[in-house]
Every structure is written in structure tokens, then in C-alpha cells.
Structure 1
Amino acid sequence: MPDPKGPENTGTAENPAITETTGTSEKPENPEAAGNTGNAGTPGATEAPKDAEPGKPEARQDAVTPAGGQTSENGEPSATTEPAKNAETTEGPRPAGNAEPTQSPEVAESPQPAKSRPQASAGAEEAATVSGRPGRVSLRGRLAHWRSWRGRHPRAALALRWTATTLSALLVLGALLLPNQLQLLRTDQFLRLPGEAIIAAALLLALPRKPRVAVAAVGGTVLGALTVLNLLDMGYAEYLGRSFNPILDWGLLDDAQSYVADSMGEAVAVGAGVGVVLLVVGLFASMALAVVRLSTLLADHRQTATRATLAAGTVWMTCSALGLQYAGEPVAQDRAATALTDKAREVRKTLRDEAAFEKETRVDAFGNTPPAQLLTGLRGKDVIFTFIESYGRVALTDPEIAPGVDRALDTGQQALTKAGYHAKSGWLTSSTFGGGSWLGHSTTMSGLWIDNQQRYRTVMNSDHLSLTKAFGKTGAWDTVGIMPGVQKAWPEQRYYGLDKVYNAFQMGYRGPAFSWSTMPDQYALESFQRLEHGRDRAKPLMAEIILTSSHQPWAPVPEMVDWKDVGDGSVFDSIEKKGQKASDIISDSGKSRVAYGKSVEYSVTALTQWLERYGTDDTVLVFLGDHQPITRVSGNTSVRDVPVSIVAKDPKVLDKIVGWKWTDGLKPAPDAPVWKMNSFRDRFLTAYGSTPHPTK
């Protein structure tokens, strides 16, 4: 019998016994088994096409034949066709011995033609059904389609395989060599030999197939997680000057989204959130698939891969032993392993720190001081603690930023001196950098070093005496908070001992928000004057005020208006509309620096003008920054210093801090004393008449 795949065979899949040799059909030896290949109504007959030439095979008709039937000479379906029991088709005819009966005589004599339907091509009909239901593609069908495509396009398939393999290798090597600092994201950092890749290759080569795939998938997932941690480290170093803490910092991601919403709009925040989730999921999946693909490649070329792994290991050990370097760093790297080790060490340190810090909060030098022995040197004074957002040393020392801030301070100093005020200034080293303002606020007020969220929560739930609570404890002051940045419940009010707190919605503001800042500083200060400071009161006032106009992204920046025109804040509408948009400067370091300088100028001007306008003989103003601005403005620096000033009319107030050796005026000298921020509380309490009575 001829080869069923040969060109000489022109029978249908239902009638493989009929062959064409010279343009005429042979009569099969077993007509009943062979079935009907002729016109309807002529069982067993075969007729060659009229235009067939001798010696040439008859044109194939099965490409348009319904499954399980034949076609007539004019292409119409034969009336003798019986629906096929199996929807699969084959490219060539099946052997005659396996042929199924195609019809019964009764069906053959039926004059009614069957409805025709197009016949699926090879491999496609297999993919057309799942469990006998059309329209759903099975995995087997997809694989068949893919194999069919590879067979038809071998060069394209080969190019696709090599592209996928190359991308997998680049993805894995990039993840192994990815630094966790943005300034190190350079090409030379990726021209290294990662030792982890060599060890992983040796392990995968030694494993059987199923364990190998499982280990590769898990390893890829771990590598994806490490990549996410490295990216988070970059972001946290840029905005907070430190690495991401995998125990404490997950809660700050929600604050980050709120910051984006306030700065760029809700739609941008939602889009960014969705994009980040998709990126992380895609990164995990692609990394796992990449490692699995590379492990399969190693197994398929085991001998070559083994030799290459041994050679690479030898090179790595040689480079490590000789200390070979490129661009200042070792050629033989184990960056991924080191990063994982560092994160594990940070987790252990965090867990130990929680227990140790809780004990530290129980020790307080002034915890048992009687009310009558607290702050005796300030009795009868209105004491106002004011934090200026992001007011850091860079504002007074950077050659591009400092000139404008210096002018604002000099102008304010001259006006205050004319009004009878004097000032002294120094430096405090903040517990935070770039953001996390509440950490700086709580460090200043508690006298404890609070540099992470867990410490903050611990202190807020403790009875450790805050500086503001000390004023309330005496019973000699009313205590108030002006918090334009607070837009939700603020249970910290209890710890700070504030009788009343005004949040963003309680000051009557009807003007526009200025990016993250809910209102201009001038309005917040005018509201404080209207609601509290300007009222007749039986007791003096202690207030904590947070000024937010110099909060990043520093666009648009408010402008000063006449104090009489502040009103409900509507006057700021036109100023906000003509100002820069956050999106215009948020990714540009140069523009951010200029805008930052202008925002600090505005905040300092608003505060000094308020004091000049509304201050009294008994007003004592303490103002300071909470942290340095982000790296985009401050640069890659370890300096975390912020200016701090005390201003008063009564000379006795400043005489009490002469021993501090602070600089006269609103601007501290570069070499003025620098204290850690957590030391301010005890120094302030001691200077102004508080007697220590430690807790046990």
C-alpha cells in the first residue's frame, strides 16, 4: 500500500483505500469497507475530475470536507455523509484497516443533502473543543497549535527561544547585581560576576527534573522579593534617608499613597497604586519563569553547562582571592546574599530594639517632678512651639538656596528687633530625614530618640512626659494644637497633653489646597490668632503649631497677602492657580531646589510677620525645622541638622540660655553648637526652672 503521506494518495480520510495513479481511480477490493467517494446516490463509485491530467494526482478535496463526510464534484456536501464521532482531523489519510464505515445504504439513498460546515485545519479542530463543547480552547489544543507554528516557522521559533533565554538571563543577572541606592544605578555596577548565580547553577544541575523546577521557581520568587526590597530601599533612601525596614515600614506605604493623592490628585494616586501592584506581581512571575527557563537550558546542555559552571566558579574564586576590582568595587560579587543577610540582621535588630526601647520610655528624669517645680522660669508667658516643615541646614548653607532664605531671615530679624524682640539660634540633629515629620516632632517633645514607627507607637502609648504636657501638668497654661496637616482622627493629642487641637477642617479655611499643604501658613497663623491667641484668657497659652507650606513637593508656593485680606482663605485662589504644578517640578532636582527655597522663605516670612504683628511682651516663640529636605534637594549627605531659634521680648528669657552658647539672631552660625534633637526637652526644662525627679 502506498505511504499515506505521499503525493500519489488523493483519497479522503474516510476512504484511504482509494488511490489515484494515472488520473483514474482504482476500484477497491472491498467496496463495503471503502465507502462512497463518488457523487451522492452512487455508492462505491469514483469519478476522476474532468480536468485531471494523466499522471498527476487529483486535487485534494478534504480541506473543505465536513468532518466525517465527503464532497460532491461541485463542492457541495454529499447526502451520504454521517456526522463524525471524533471531531479531530488529520493531514493524511488513515490506514484502510482502521477506516470506519462512512454510511449505510439507507443514508446513501437519501435525496436530502446534509448541511455543510467548514472543516477545521489540522490541529485547530483539536483546540476547538473542551469536553465536547465548542468555543473553549484546551491546553492540549494550544500546545498543538504552538507545535504546528514552530514547524511552519522554524527560524522565527528559534529566534523567539533565544530572545526569551537572553531576556531571562539579563533579568536574573540584573536582579542579582541590582544595588539598593539610586546613585549606584550605573552600568558599571552590572559588570560583575555574581557568585550566587554560580552556586545556583551547580545546585540546579544536580537535581532531577521535578525538584529542579520547584527549586528554580522558589529561587525566582525569592529573587523577585529581593528586587522589590532593593527598589523600596532606593525610594526610602531618596525620601527618608534610610533603607526600607521590612518589619516597620509597610504601614508607611499607605501614607505614601495619600501623599501622592494630595500632591498629584486622586486619579494619579490610584493609577500609581494599581501600576505598582501589577509591577510587583509581574516581577515575581517573570523572575520565577526566567529562573525555570534557565534551569531547563542547563539541564538540556548538562555537559556544557557543568564545564561552564566550573570555569565560572574558578574565575570567581580567583578574582575574590586577588581582590580584583572594577570601577572601585570587587569583580567577584555576592551582593544578593549580602542584601538578604543585611535585611535579616535588620529584622533581628528591630525585634530586639522594641523590647529595649519600651524599657527606656519608663525612665524619665522629670517623670515625677511636682507641677509646682516645672517651668517656673516661664510662668505668665505665652509659649509657642512652631515646627517649619523641611527647614534644614541646607536652607542656610546651600549656595543656590541660602541667599533667598538669608534675606527672609534678615528682613524678619530687622523687623523683630525694631519691635523689641531678640533671638538666639543653634542646631539640632533630627531623628529623621526627608520625611516622617512626626518622628522629629515627637523626638523634640519627648526627649527620646524616635527614628522609626514602632518607637513612635511605643511612646504615644506611654506615660513618658512630653514637653507640651509638662505645661499642661502645671495647671498654669491652656494648651492648644494648630495642625493643618491632620486630616483624620489624631489620638496623639492625649500624649501631647493638648486641651484642644484644630485640624485641617476646623479652622474655617475655604481656599485651595497648595499640593500636600491644606492651607497656606499665613492662614494657619491668622486662624490661631483669631481662635486662640487673640482671645482674652484667664491663663497664658502654650501652643504647638505645625506649618506645612514648605512640605514637599513645594509647588505651588503660596505668596504673602495683606493680613487684613486673609479672610476665609478665598484670596489664595488666584495665587494657587498661577503657581507651578507639582508635576512640573517633582522629578526635576533643579526646579525642586528653587521651589524648596521659596517655600522656606515664605514660611519664615509668615511666622516673623505674625510675631511682629501679633506678639506681646509676654510672647516667647520657639521655632525649628523637623528634618532636612529629601535627597533631591539636600544631596547625598549624612547631615541631618535643623535650625532652632528662641525669640522673646523679655531679656530674662534669653538670659537663662546664655550657657548654651547659641548664636545671636534668627540664623545660627555654621559652627554653633549642635545637639541631638532628643536632648532639647531636658535642656529646655532645666533652663526654665524645672527640677528633675526621675521615675524609677
Structure 2
Amino acid sequence: MPRRNGVAMGAPAVPSSRRGGAVATAGAIVALVVLPLAPGLLASERLPTGPAALLGIPVESLLILLLLVIAPWRIPRRVLAGLFGLFVTGALLLAGIDHGFRAAVGAPFALSDWSQLGAAYGVLVDSLGAFLAGLLLVALIGGILACTVVLAWAALRVADVVCRRAAGRIVLAAATAVWLVSALVAPLRVGDPIAAAASIGSVGSAVARTETVLGAQPTIAREIARDPFAGVPADRLLTGLRGKDVIIAFVESYGRVALEGDGIEGGVTGVLQAGDASLAAEGYSARSAWLTSPTFGGLSWLAHATLQTGVWAPTQSAYNQIVASNRLSLALAFGRAGWRTVSDVPSDNQRWGVGRSFYHYGSLLDATNVGYRGPAFGYALIPDQYTLKHFADTQLTGPHTPVMAEIDLASSHTPWTPLSQLVPWDKIGDGSIYDPQPALSPSATTVWQNPQTVQRFYGQSVQYSLGSLFSFLQNVDDPNLVVIVLGDHQPAEIVSGSGASHDVPISIIARDPAVLAATTDWNWSPGLQPGDTSPVWPMDAFRDRLLTAFSPTP
């Protein structure tokens, strides 16, 4: 057959517009199948792979096509398509956030936890920098808009084809019949049902989780009100610690894996063993155990509130209830009993309202008012050693009213890079000695390419935080010092592993033998390292145990 310009003469030519239209329709069909199924894939424990993950007929797409075929007017059809796009995109966003929450903090996302998204973005800014984090946020917003538009367009495109062609109507009817049959046999567990409602399920699950969280509020309210120490007179609170400077030091992400994790525990236990020896030389003794934290991988403030108030705070909603109440916190109990109370949170760069309104701290120290002139270390704006040196110099020197403080040591906060290094105590100054250190660590994007590297940097960050605390204890000559050091939660699953416990170490350190003698019935293990036989308490049990041990009556 003769050819002209490479085309066989006599062969019917397919117009490019028809080919383009067919490609566009095929793309629209793919979008209507894949995107509504995606929330179901994200809801899985492990993301499915391969073609089998897309074997399903999304009911959301069937419903919108049926509605668009029936709807006779153009504007309502566009509105319906737009609402469909928003619904599926919203379901996909909720499923993605929930998947991220489960991976990062080991807990599902409820709509009542929306404020935690701001905290998550703050960590992203501190880890990657404001510019790159901003680009990611812009990309996410652009993706949401694009997904909505693509879904609306795809629904209108396929609906138009169905309206114009009898074959399209037959395919739509057949797909609807298959979905209905599959839905009917699904309860009988006959094979894997093709009937899918992933987007509807994602939204429904988010609503159900939120209802569960809100439904727990009456129980939490009863726990807040049931306080055996609420009416104890101030002169009968904490009499066993009178004259002592008491510090509660939270070490960020200091979890059980730091003492038991493969490739991690060696360095951390080595620091603890050296700490035991150095503290013994300074006249200190220590006892240790485990606490079970209400949170995992992040959301540290939930652990802080649980320890301080004796009320279990596993969600943002529970936390909000607690800090809006008049529950007696440890900080308030010490304040009523005559201590000068201090909150030292070096990762904060703005005023902490709850510190005044609920905890009633007399002084709030943060990144803005501790005189630090050195470099930032990612989320940990200020190295722990500087935090402790500044606290010692400003709160513990000379004659002073006994102080009770919560100090949050943040150098071991994710992403665990760049790392700080210990410097001579008397050379810390305004922190400018740390200027060369951030450049010595790889970036977070480099470290997080390999789980083993992440685990190694995590272990090193905990070693630094603990080393900073021991440096503080060795250099502060305060015979009345009592330190309670503990973790707030386990690190994320990439370090802790799947199914890890919520346990964190806790130690009480003091020079005065009477302090540890008052805790004899706690049966904690000697030294800074709890073992397999050490007690495991829920974190909300600690407040009452402490107040009971050091107050004459409950």
C-alpha cells in the first residue's frame, strides 16, 4: 500500500482531537478510581503496593456520576462536582494526617486535636528551616487545590461521556451492580470485596475518633475533681522537702529504647554508669524506675501535665480540660508551700500563657530572656548545658528562697541534629562558644535518609542531654539540691520500633539521705538506670506518690 509522509494511503486517519479526548477520558476515569481509594490505602498499617491495592470500585465516584447524569442543569452539576472534589480531597487529607500522627506519635488524629498541627509545623520549621518548610506548606496547599479541581473535572468529564454514549451508561450500570453485589457478600467474607467507600470511611473514622475523645470529657472532669490533696493546708504540703531546691528535669524523647534499643543503649548506659560514679564522688545517691507516658513520639506537654497533676492526659482535649481547671499541680503545691517556682523551657520563643494561668509559676524562662547569644540547634534553640548553667547562675547562687523548677531539656528533641557538644562549664559564657558546633553535624535531610543513622543520632543526643545534667550536678555546690529527671515519651517509631511500650526512665537524685529514705516503699532500683525488675508506674501516679511521701497527711 502506498505511503505518504509515513502514513498508509487509504487508512482512516484518527483526528488528534478524538485521540486527545480519549486520553483525557481515560485520565478522568483513573482519577475517579485512584484518588477516592487513596484514603483507604493510607488507613492501612502498612501502605499497600502493587495493582491489587487499586482493585476496588469507589462508591463516592459512582454516586457523583449518578447524580451528574440525573442533574439537568449545568450550574448545579458543577456545584455537585466541586463538592465531590472537596469531600474526597478532605477525606484524603484527613487520612494523610491520621497516618502521619500514627507514625510520629503512635496515636490517631481526632478533629479536636487540630491545634497540634501548628506545633507539628513548628517542628518542621525548626528542623528544615522556615524557607523549606514554607515551600512544603505551599506545595501541600497547591496539591489540595489541584486534587479538588482534578476530581471535579474528572467527574464532569466522565458524566458527559456517560450521557452521550449508550456504552457509557451500560458500564456505569454494570459497575454499580458489581459494587452492590460485592457490598452484599462482604459480610459473608467471600473473597475480597470490591465495594469501596474509603473516602466516606475516612471522614466517618475521623468523626468517630472525635466523638470518642469528646465522650471522655465527663470521665476526665471527674478525675480532675477527685483530688485528695485539694484541701490540704499549705503548711502541711511537702514538709519533708522544706529547705530543698527541687528540680523536675524532663529529658526530651528519653524513652525505654534509650536503655534497651540495639545500637543505642551502649552509649547511653555508659553515660549513666559514668554519671553514677561521678555523682557518688559528689555525695549524691539515686534511685530509678519506669513511668508509662500518656504520649509517644511527641506532644510532650501531655506528659508534663500528667506528671504534674496526676490526671491522665492522652489527648489535646484532655489537656485543655486539665489546664482550664483548678486542679492542684506540683508547681502550684510547691508554690503554696513557700517555694519560689520557675518554669525553664528553652525551646519556647514566646510567652507561655498556661504557665501563669494554670501552673502559676512565679518566673517563666524561655529562649527570649536567658541571655543566649549562640547558634540555634534546630528545634533545640538553646543547648541543654547552657540552659542548666544559666539556671544555676541565676536561680541557685547565694542565699535564696528554696526554688522548685521544671526544666525541659530539649537537645534530644527530634530530628536529633545538629548535635551539641559539651564544653567546659566555666567557658559557657553567653553561648557564643557553641558557634562552630552546628556546622559539624549533617543536616536533618541527610540524617533521615537512613533509619540506622537516625537511631545513632538519637542516642548521641540523649547522651548529650544526660551529660549536661551531670555536668550541672558536678558544678553546682548545693547540698539541698533534689533532682527528679525523667523522659517525657519514647521517640518516634523509626527509633523505638513497631509496638514499643510507652515507658520512660525516671530517677530521683539527692545528697540528703532522708530524701531517698522517704521513698523507700517505692522500691525503686539503686542508681541512675532502672532494670527489668524496677517498678513501672503510670505517669499519673507520680504526683500523689510524691505528695504522700513528703507530706504528713494526704
TM-score > 0.5, shorter chain as reference: yes
C-alpha deviations, 1:109-153, integer Å up to 9, x for none?
A: xxxxxxxxxxxxxxxxxxxxxxxxxxxxxxxxxxxxxxxxx9952
Q: Is 1:321 aligned with 2:185?
A: no
Q: Which amino acid aligns with 2:278?
A: A
Q: Is 1:548 aligned with 2:410?
A: yes
Match of 1:291 among 128, 140, 155: 155
SS in 2 for 1:247: helix
Give, in angstroms, the shift of residue 195 of structure 1. 6.2
Q: Which runs of 5+ in 1 are unaligned?
A: 1-149
**Kept in 1: contact 2:349–2:366 (CA 8 A):** yes
**Kept in 1: contact 2:309–2:329 (CA 8 A):** yes
Q: Which amino acid aligns with 2:447?
A: I
Quickly say closer, same or farther: Cα 1:635–1:333, change in 2 above 3 A. Answer: farther
Match of 1:511 among 360, 374, 386: 374
1:234 alignment partner in structure 2: 99
Give, in angstroms, the shift of residue 162 of structure 1. 4.1
C-alpha deviations, 1:216-254, integer Å up to 9, x for none?
A: 5433321111101011111211222212211232x2222
1:94 alignment partner in structure 2: none
Give, in angstroms, the shift of residue 171 of structure 1. 3.0
2:363 alignment partner in structure 1: 500
Which one scores higher on RCO, CA 8 angstroms, separation ≥ 6? 2
Q: How does 1:184-263 map to 2 (within 5 A)?
A: 184-187=47-50, 190-194=53-57, 196=59, 200=63, 203-204=66-67, 207-210=70-73, 215-249=80-114, 251-263=115-127
SS in 1 for 2:46: helix
Q: Which amino acid aligns with 2:374?
A: G
Q: Which amino acid aligns with 2:403?
A: L
Give, in angstroms, the shift of residue 501 of structure 1. 1.8
1:520 alignment partner in structure 2: 383
**Kept in 2: contact 1:239–1:435 (CA 8 A):** yes
**Kept in 1: contact 2:124–2:133 (CA 8 A):** yes
Give, in angstroms, the shift of residue 623 of structure 1. 0.5
**Kept in 2: contact 1:204–1:216 (CA 8 A):** no
Give, in angstroms, the shift of residue 498 of structure 1. 1.9
Match of 1:363 among 205, 215, 226: 226
Quickly say closer, same or farther: Cα 1:243–1:687, change in 2 above 3 A. Answer: same
Q: Is 1:676 aligned with 2:543?
A: no
SS in 2 for 1:574: coil
Q: Is 1:390 aligned with 2:257?
A: no
Give, in angstroms, the shift of residue 196 of structure 1. 2.6
Q: Is 1:463 aligned with 2:341?
A: no
SS in 2 for 1:343: helix
Q: How does 1:273-312 map to 2 (within 5 A)?
A: 273-299=137-163, 300=165, 301-312=168-179
**Kept in 2: contact 1:182–1:238 (CA 8 A):** no
Quickly say closer, same or farther: Cα 1:320–1:187, change in 2 above 3 A. Answer: farther
Quickly say closer, same or farther: Cα 1:436–1:315, change in 2 above 3 A. Answer: closer
C-alpha deviations, 1:182-226, integer Å up to 9, x for none?
A: 733433761443463586378448734446665454333211111
Match of 2:305 among 437, 442, 458: 442
Query: In 2, distance between residues paired with 1:205 and 1:596?
Result: 54
SS in 1 for 2:435: helix
Query: In 2, distance between residues paired with 1:293 and 1:356?
Result: 51
**Kept in 2: contact 1:195–1:313 (CA 8 A):** no
Q: How does 1:64-463 map to 2 (within 5 A)?
A: 153-154=16-17, 156-175=19-38, 177-181=40-44, 183-187=46-50, 190-194=53-57, 196=59, 200=63, 203-204=66-67, 207-210=70-73, 215-249=80-114, 251-299=115-163, 300=165, 301-318=168-185, 320-325=187-192, 333-463=196-326
Query: In 2, distance between residues paired with 1:305 and 1:470?
Result: 68
Quickly say closer, same or farther: Cα 1:576–1:202, change in 2 above 3 A. Answer: closer
Query: In 2, distance between residues paired with 1:181 and 1:534?
Result: 55
**Kept in 2: contact 1:171–1:287 (CA 8 A):** no
Give, in angstroms, the shift of residue 387 of structure 1. 0.4
2:468 alignment partner in structure 1: 606
Q: Which amino acid aligns with 2:446?
A: D
C-alpha deviations, 1:29-83, integer Å up to 9, x for none?
A: xxxxxxxxxxxxxxxxxxxxxxxxxxxxxxxxxxxxxxxxxxxxxxxxxxxxxxx
Query: In 1, distance between residues paired with 2:175 and 2:194?
Result: 18
Greater fraction of residues in helix: 2
Give, in angstroms, the shift of residue 655 of structure 1. 1.7
**Kept in 1: contact 2:38–2:198 (CA 8 A):** no
Task: Give percent identity, aligned residues only.
Answer: 34
Query: In 2, distance between residues paired with 1:189 and 1:360?
Result: 48
Query: In 1, distance between residues paired with 2:433 and 2:309?
Result: 38
Moved more, 300-309 or 501-510: 300-309
1:488 alignment partner in structure 2: 350
Which one has a bigger Cα radius of gyration? 1
TM-score (norm 1): 0.72
Query: In 2, distance between residues paired with 1:396 and 1:527?
Result: 29
C-alpha deviations, 1:253-293, integer Å up to 9, x for none?
A: 22222222222222112212211211112222222222333
Match of 1:592 among 454, 478, 491: 454
TM-score (norm 2): 0.90
**Kept in 2: contact 1:177–1:189 (CA 8 A):** no
Query: In 2, distance between residues paired with 1:201 and 1:499?
Result: 59
C-alpha deviations, 1:653-688, integer Å up to 9, x for none?
A: 112222222211111112422111111101111111
Quickly say closer, same or farther: Cα 1:308–1:335, change in 2 above 3 A. Answer: closer
Moved more, 609-618 or 409-418: 609-618
Quickly say closer, same or farther: Cα 1:201–1:215, change in 2 above 3 A. Answer: closer
Query: In 1, distance between residues paired with 2:477 and 2:493?
Result: 36
1:38 alignment partner in structure 2: none
Superposed CA RMSD in Å reads: 2.5
Query: In 2, distance between residues paired with 1:186 and 1:480?
Result: 52
Moved more, 181-190 or 346-355: 181-190
Q: Which amino acid aligns with 1:622?
A: I
SS in 2 for 1:496: coil
**Kept in 2: contact 1:402–1:597 (CA 8 A):** yes
Moved more, 506-515 or 187-196: 187-196
1:640 alignment partner in structure 2: 502
Give, in angstroms, the shift of residue 331 of structure 1. 6.0
Q: Which amino acid aligns with 2:247?
A: I
Q: Which amino acid aligns with 1:616?
A: D
Aligned length: 536
SS in 1 for 2:133: helix
